[in-house]
Structure formats: structure tokens, C-alpha cells
């Protein structure tokens, strides 16, 4: 049923911005029995949605922002689904001017969390609630159940939560949606989710690269391995779709589609934001950073072409593995261990962000709502949930018994994969940097002692001693005796 907005304020939620994500989430609300007011800058999109999917439920068609706002029950709830950036500010301003204190504006785009913090403060000063909500799951998730990460004032969640939870993915009867924390917390968590997504995709890419170039398998054969892996501990959405992408044939050439796609990965920016934020917070998210840089290297097409044209030397290469079954198992173990490292680092960043902004983020809750709906949904998020439920103050996910044992069981495989890839000249920045991170974490003595000595030498930056407290400085250009700083 669809009505024009001239009627009373009866919609429980309004959605503005009706591109695919916005349309799909509007339909999802309608399918769950909510009356949805629709608004879009050009009314053609609103009409198209109603013409094609009006049967999904109860929609209220509106043309102007005033009509749109008037169609909503109080407190009014409006979900903005526009491309993140400047457009968001102007849409917020238009809505805010037409709304009243107590009303709620939800930004469901991939906004930068610092923008969300700024917007929340500005709207709070005007008596409005602003909820930055990360929404993951792509177009299909928006329609059938995404993972939703709403931040903003806790009190707004009281009226908004049940609505969002009703359209979110459900795992074992638990919705993949919970109040994340104040102001920018929801978008911060979504950002780190995307950083982990980048790392996960890069690691899968490296596994594929090794199958192709170390074992000489074709796309179809590699698809079979991923499909098989999806029945075990690696079971996840990204592993599942990897098999599907690898199986896809190109209609024009008859080749595997993956073999005709240009090997230059693009990015819209959330992975880069994750790394920038991690640098500011001082958290070594090496797996995520390598994934962002690997996309950048793949996209440096002119440089790569120049390097290939000059035939840069590979050095003396090693032999390809002869035991394909063993090497396949090695890659699986390397992938799982590196994936654990990427998640451990992402959760470290979440802990650091929580401390920096006083968000009181609950890692077990995040693992719970990432189990379904989102791009990184995976069976092993149940394990992460269990680990943080058992010990919310885990120093590192790697130290939770299940993860520690999983890594230790595959450690030799992991080393063989990195060593073999290196000897074959196959780049594995994700596998290698994750292994180095792991070795760094467990090392008894890091070379940082030398770094401290050097810093003290050239800049009198001081160092601490292993045998007594305090800061010390050696008089490097004097008699080289030590003084307490």
C-alpha cells in the first residue's frame, strides 16, 4: 500500500537517499511491517521504488523535505543513505531545520567517525539526536538483513533499537545490531570492520596467487579449494564468494572472468582511514596496512608497467613445491593464522579508540554483531565472541587459548608458505607481515634497544634500563659515562 504524504504523520521511519542501498533498506523496513516514508532529491527514484517494489509493504511517497518530515511519527526517525561526504552535511542541515528537539537523524553511510563526532555535537546543541550507524552487508545485506553498528546517544537507541534490530541479520536468534557507544563510536567500529575486510581480502588474494603461481592451478581448481575450505574453520562469506568469483566464466572470451579483470584494486577510503587512525592511536595494524598498500601497489599501473618493461631481476628463485596437498594445507594454515593476526590487530585498534574517546566499547558485542549480515561474517567470530566473553581484558586475541592453539598448530606451515613464496618471488605482504608481527610479539628481546641507543646518541632522547627504574642518558660526545636524566 502506498499513500501520498498529505495524510497524518504515520511512518515509523523515513529513508532519504534512494540509491540501491537506501532503496533496499527501505524495502527491508517495509517488509518487516514498518510504515516507511520515502524521500529522494529527484522524485523519479522514489516513484521507481514504489512502482517496482510497492508490494513490499507500506510506503509513504513524499516530494519535499517538509512533506517527508511531516509524514513521520514522533520522535521522528530519519535514515540518511547518501554517499558519505559533503552531501551528508547539506542533507543533515535541511532535515534538522525541519525537525524538532527529540527527533533522530541517522547517518547510515560510511562516514568518517570524526565527522560523526562533529555532527553529533552540533545537532545535540540543537536538541536533536544524531546517530552515526555503520551498515555492512552490501546491497543484498541491506535488503535481507545487514549488520548494523549504531552509535550516538544511548537514549535514542531506546526508540531506534527495536526498529533497527528488526531489520538486521539474526544469528541464533540474536540480532546483528546493538548500541555501540556515544557519538562516532558506530562509524569508528564500521571503519575498523572495513579495515579487517581489506586484510581478509588481501590474505585470500595471496592464497589465490600462490595456488596460481606456485602450484599452477587454474581458477576452477582454486575455486574448488576455497569451496572446500568453506566447510571448515575458514567458513566465511568472503571465502564463499571467492569460490563463486573464481568459478565465473567470461561470456566474451570463455576464459575465467578473474583472468580478464585488470589486476588493479580500487578503494573508496575506509581501509585508508583505518590505517591513518591506527597511526594516530599508535596501534600496529600491520595486516590492514599491508592490505591498503597492496591495493595501492596494484593500482600503480604506470610504475608496474615500467618495471615489467625493464624486466627487473628476480634473483635466484627456489623450486616449486612438489607436494601439492601439503602445500595446500600450508596455505590454509597460513591464511588462518594471518587472519587471526588481522582481527587481533583490529580489536586492538578498537580498544585504543575506546580508551581515547571514552566509548566503553565491548569487543564481545562487536564480535556478536559481526557474526551475520556483514562482509566479514565468519564462523570464527563465534570464537572471538567466546574469547572476549571469557576475558574482556584479553591483552591480545592471539593469547586466547583457542587462537593461540590454532596458530601454534599451523606455525610451521605458516613459515613454509612465507619462505616458499619468498624463494619463488611471489609477493605475500599480508602473510609475511603477520608472521613478523607474531614473531615480534613473542620475541624476548627486540632490536628496539639499539634504536633507543641510537636515539640517545644523536638526540639525547634517553633510554630506560633493564635493571633499574628511571631514564638515562650516556654522554656520547663526552666521556661516555651515564647520567640519570
Find the shortest distance in angstroms from Cβ 53 to ligand 6PG. Answer: 21
| The total number of residues written for the chain in this structure | 485
H or E element, residue 285: none
C-alpha dist (Å) from residue 269 to 48, 110, 197, 395, 479: 30, 9, 12, 29, 52
Q: Are 364 and 389 in contact (CB under 8 A)?
A: yes
Q: Is 374 a binder of ligand 6PG (CB under 6 A)? A: yes
Pairing of strands 174-175, 59-61: unpaired
Closest approach, Cβ 288 to ligand 6PG, in A, equals 12
Give the ranges where 214-285 is alpha helix by DSSP (H). Answer: 219-229, 237-247, 270-281
CB of 142 to ligand 6PG, least distance (A): 8
Position 194 contacts ligand 6PG (CB under 6 A): yes
Q: Got the DSSP string for 425-476?
A: T---HHHHHHHHHHHHHH-SS-THHHHHHHHHHHH---B--SSSSS-EEE-T
CB of 187 to ligand 6PG, least distance (A): 11
Point out the catalytic residue in the list 190, 339, 362, 385: 190
Q: Smallest distance from the beta carbon of 404 to ligand 6PG, in angstroms?
A: 29
Other C-beta atoms closer than 10 Å to the C-beta of 283 total: 22
Q: Cβ neighbours of residue 85 under 8 Å, at least 6 residues apart?
A: none
Site string for ligand 6PG, 132-151 (x = CB under 6 A): ----xxx-------------
Closer of 197 and 290 to ligand 6PG (Cβ): 197
Widest CA span of the chain, in angstroms?
A: 89
The SS3 call for residue 382 is: helix
Q: What distance in Å separates the CA atoms of residue 166 and residue 429, rounded to the nearest whole number?
A: 41
> Whole-angstrom Cα distance, residue 266 to residue 288?
15
Q: Which of 105, 375, 398, 400 binds ligand 6PG (CB under 6 A)?
A: 375
Region from 61-69, 266-274, 405-413, 425-433 binding ligand 6PG, contact rule CB under 6 A: 266-274
Q: Closer to ligand 6PG at the Cβ: 290 or 330?
A: 290
Q: Which is nearer to ligand 6PG, 369 or 435 (CB)?
A: 369
CA angle, residues 13, 14, 15, in degrees to nearest 5? 125
Phi, psi of 107 (to 5 degrees): -100, 110
Which of 73, 59, 79 has its CA nearest to residue 4? Answer: 59
Catalytic option among 197, 206, 339, 385: 197
Q: Indicate the residue among 377 and 383 with the shorter CB distance to ligand 6PG.
A: 377
Q: Which of residues 290 and 456 has its CB atom nearest to ligand 6PG in the complex?
A: 290
Q: Which three cell numbers stand for residue 228?
A: 572446500
Annotation says 339 is catalytic:
no
Q: Which range in 90-98, 170-178, 240-248, 262-270 contacts ligand 6PG by CB under 6 A?
A: 262-270
267 binds ligand 6PG per the rule CB under 6 A: yes
Q: Residue 74 or 268: which CB sits closer to ligand 6PG?
A: 268
Which residue is nearest to ligand 6PG, using beta carbons?
136
Query: Residue 405 corresponds to which cell in the numbers above?
Result: 592453539
Site string for ligand 6PG, 158-177 (x = CB under 6 A): --------------------
Q: Which of 284, 293, 398 is nearest to 349 (CA)?
A: 284
Cβ-in-10-Å burial (0-12, 13-18, 19+) of 312 comes to exposed
CB of 292 to ligand 6PG, least distance (A): 9
Question: Interface with ligand 6PG by CB under 6 A: which range of 116-124, 221-229, 267-275, 433-441?
Answer: 267-275
Question: What is the rounded distance in angstroms from the CA atom of residue 328 to the CA atom of residue 161?
Answer: 45
Q: Are the CB atoms for 476 and 457 separated by under 8 Å?
A: yes
- How many residues form the binding site for ligand 6PG (CB under 6 A)? 12
Told to judge if 197 belongs to the known catalytic residues of this protein, a careful annotator would answer yes
Of residues 88-127, those binding ligand 6PG (CB under 6 A): 110
Footprint of ligand 6PG on residues 350-369 (CB under 6 A)? none
274 binds ligand 6PG (CB under 6 A): no
Residue 150 or 271: which CB sits closer to ligand 6PG? 271
Q: Tell me how far, at minimum, the Cβ of 227 lies from ligand 6PG, in Å.
A: 23
CB of residue 272 to ligand 6PG, shortest distance in Å: 8
Residue 441 CB, nearest approach to ligand 6PG (Å): 28
Q: Distance between CA 280 and CA 299 in Å, rounded?
A: 25
Stretch that binds ligand 6PG, among 66-74, 264-272, 306-314, 399-407 (CB under 6 A): 264-272
270 binds ligand 6PG (CB under 6 A): yes
Query: Is 296 or 423 the residue whose CB approaches ligand 6PG more closely?
Result: 296
Instruction: Note whether 268 binds ligand 6PG by CB under 6 A.
Output: yes
- Asked whether the CA dihedral 447, 448, 452, 454 is positive or negative, the reply is positive
- Between 145 and 271, whose beta carbon lies closer to ligand 6PG? 271
- The residues annotated with a catalytic role in the active site are 190, 197
* Binding site residues, ligand 6PG, CB under 6 A: 110, 136-138, 194, 197, 267-268, 270-271, 374-375
Amino acid at each position: 500500500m502506498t499513500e501520498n504524504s498529505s495524510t497524518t504523520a504515520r511512518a515509523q521511519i523515513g529513508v532519504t537517499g534512494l540509491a540501491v542501498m537506501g532503496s533496499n533498506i527501505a524495502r527491508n523496513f517495509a517488509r518487516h511491517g514498518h510504515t516507511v516514508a520515502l524521500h529522494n532529491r529527484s522524485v523519479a527514484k522514489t516513484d521507481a521504488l514504489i512502482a517496482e517494489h510497492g508490494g513490499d509493504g507500506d510506503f509513504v511517497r513524499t516530494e519535499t523535505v517538509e512533506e517527508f518530515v511531516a509524514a513521520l511519527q514522533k520522535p521522528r526517525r530519519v535514515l540518511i543513505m547518501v554517499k558519505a561526504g559533503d552531501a551528508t552535511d547539506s542533507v543533515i542541515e535541511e532535515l534538522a531545520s525541519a525537525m524538532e528537539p527529540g527527533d533522530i537523524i541517522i547517518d547510515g553511510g560510511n562516514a568518517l567517525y570524526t565527522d560523526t563526532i562533529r555532527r553529533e555535537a552540533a545537532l545535540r546543541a540543537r536538541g536533536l539526536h544524531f546517530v552515526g550507524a555503520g551498515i555492512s552487508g552490501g546491497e543484498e545485506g541491506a535488503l535481507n538483513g545487514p549488520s548494523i553498528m549504531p552509535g550516538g546517544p544511548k537514549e535514542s537507541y531506546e526508540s531506534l533499537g527495536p526498529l533497527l534490530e528488526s531489520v538486521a541479520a539474526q544469528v541464533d536468534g540474536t540480532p546483528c545490531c546493538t548500541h555501540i557507544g556515544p557519538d562516532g563510536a558506530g562509524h569508528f567500529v564500521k571503519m575498523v570492520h572495513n579495515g579487517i575486510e581489506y586484510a581478509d581480502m588481501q590474505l585470500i588474494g595471496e592464497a589465490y596467487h600462490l595456488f596460481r603461481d606456485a602450484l599452477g592451478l587454474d581458477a576452477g581448481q582454486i575455486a574448488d579449494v576455497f569451496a572446500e575450505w568453506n566447510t571448515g574453520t575458514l567458513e566465511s562469506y568472503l571465502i564463499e564468494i571467492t569460490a563463486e568469483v573464481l568459478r565465473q566464466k567470461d561470456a566474451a572470451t570463455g576464459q575465467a572472468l578473474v583472468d580478464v579483470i585488470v589486476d588493479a584494486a580500487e578503494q573508496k577510503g575506509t581501509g585508508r582511514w583505518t590505517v591513518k587512525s591506527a597511526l594516530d592511536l599508535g596501534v600496529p595494524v600491520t595486516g590492514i596496512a599491508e592490505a591498503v598498500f597492496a591495493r595501492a601497489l596494484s593500482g600503480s599501473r604506470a610504475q608496474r608497467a615500467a618495471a615489467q618493461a625493464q624486466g627487473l631481476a628476480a634473483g635466484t628463485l627456489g623450486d616449486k613445491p612438489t607436494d601439492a596437498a601439503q602445500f595446500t594445507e600450508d596455505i590454509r594454515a597460513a591464511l588462518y593464522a594471518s587472519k587471526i593476526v588481522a582481527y587481533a590487530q583490529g580489536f586492538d585498534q578498537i580498544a585504543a579508540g575506546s580508551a581515547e574517546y571514552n566509548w566503553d566499547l565491548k569487543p564481545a558485542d562487536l564480535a556478536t554483531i559481526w557474526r551475520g549480515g556483514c562482509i566479514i561474517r565468519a564462523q570464527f567470530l563465534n570464537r572471538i565472541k567466546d574469547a572476549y566473553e571469557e576475558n574482556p581484558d584479553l591483552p591480545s586475541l592471539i593469547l586466547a587459548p583457542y587462537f593461540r592453539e590454532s596458530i601454534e598448530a599451523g606455525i610451521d606451515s605458516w613459515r613454509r608458505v612465507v619462505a616458499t613464496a619468498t624463494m619463488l618471488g611471489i609477493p605475500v605482504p599480508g602473510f609475511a607481515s603477520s608472521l613478523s608481527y607474531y614473531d615480534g610479539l613473542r620475541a624476548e628481546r627486540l632490536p628496539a634497544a639499539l634504536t633507543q641507543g641510537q636515539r640517545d646518541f644523536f638526540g639525547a632522547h634517553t633510554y630506560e634500563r633493564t635493571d633499574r627504574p628511571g631514564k638515562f642518558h650516556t654522554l656520547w660526545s663526552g666521556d661516555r659515562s651515564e647520567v640519570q636524566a
